[in-house]
Amino acid sequence: MVLTTDIKRWWHTQPAMTQLLLGVTIAVFLIEWLLGGSTVTAVLYYLGAKNDQAIIAGQWWRFITPIFLHMGLMHIAVNGVVIYFMGMQIEALFGHWRMLALYLLGGISGNVMSFALSPDQSVGASTAIFALFGAFLMVGESFWENPVIQQLTRQFLMLTVINLIFDLFSSGIDLWGHVGGLAGGFLLAYVVGVPRIGAIPKVKRILAAITIVIAWVALLKLGFTNWQ
């Protein structure tokens, strides 16, 4: 009974979903290490890296598994810090389950765009992280009259732009995955809404949902056309 009470208290008072996602990500990284190393291409492929030919062959789970895989200690260290601090912000605004939806579906959006436009195998939570950036930008656009949100949005917008510029001049970065995650998170935030702050017009929510579906279908078709 005491344990149940402690779990309920943790769920209601802590960024529980952020902590769970971070815990799963670290656990998967340890599995990578046990299987031979997080920088071994074959290990990452075996665990579900985004690989265009494998997706074409029917391995659709590779749109979501790359979110939890990382290549090297620095990769997971940087992403882990961002997941924790950005996740806390988004979870406080959207709640546990909406934050989970934004993280997973936004990450999938990034991997779908990467599948369509990038031939390279890729892994990393960055697609989902950029989805969280996109979700916060939606909050800034919808509730701009709030001075606190104004200030935070400017900071996150600057951080997002800096990251995208860094991507342009860095090798081995899945730029299309990041752009897809950002756009996906922005649109998905309209769909799930932010009831803790205020209502999103129904028209905007419907249009965002339709846009996401059309974009996914178009990108999937493009990916199959490009890589078959």
C-alpha 33/C-alpha 129 separation (Å) is 23
Catalytic pick from 38, 126, 142, 170?
A: 126
User: Is 126 a known active-site residue?
Assistant: yes
Strand, coil or helix: 88: helix
The answer to whether residue 12 is catalytic is no
- 194 and 93 Cβ atoms separated by less than 8 Å: yes
* Two tokens, residue 102: 């934004």
What is the three-state SS of 118-172?
CCCCECCCHHHHHHHHHHHHHHHHHCCCCHHHHHHHHHHHHHHHHHHHHHHCCCC
Choose among 141, 91, 130, 137: nearest CA to 108.
130
Give the burial class of 74: count Cβ atoms within 10 A of its Cβ; 0-12 exposed, 13-18 middle, 19 or more buried: exposed
Cα separations in angstroms, 167 against 10, 33, 52: 37, 26, 21
Catalytically active residues are 126, 178
